Amino acid sequence: MPSPGALFASLIFGIIGIVAFRYGKKNAVFMPMLLGIVLMVFPYFVPQTWLLYLIGCVLTAAVWFFRN
């Protein structure tokens, strides 16, 4: 059973992923759409909570960097 911190991270990064995907789809930009999908899916494959936060923060920064 995942820890509360892991569940919270999955929820937050999933929401960020949905927003990034919708932004990319609306503006026809491929990279935010792809990163949004990755943000929504990666928590299923990362067992450690600290790694979940690390990867999520890096992917969120990548969405911010590749937004245009």
Q: Considering just the CA atoms, what is the radius of gyration of the chain in Å?
A: 12
How is residue 67 written in tokens?
Answer: 């937004």
The total number of structural domains in the chain stands at 1
Q: Are 19 and 8 in contact (CB under 8 A)?
A: no
pTM: 0.91
- Tens digit of each residue's pLDDT, the chain (68 residues): 779 999 999 999 999 999 999 999 999 999 999 999 999 999 999 999 999 999 999 999 999 998 87
Instruction: Supply the range of the domain harboring residue 46.
Output: 4-65
pLDDT at 55: 97
Cβ pair 59, 37 in contact under 8 A: no
The count of other CB atoms within 10 Å of the CB of residue 35 is 24
Q: Which two tokens stand for residue 16?
A: 């960020």
Amino acid code (one letter) for 63: V
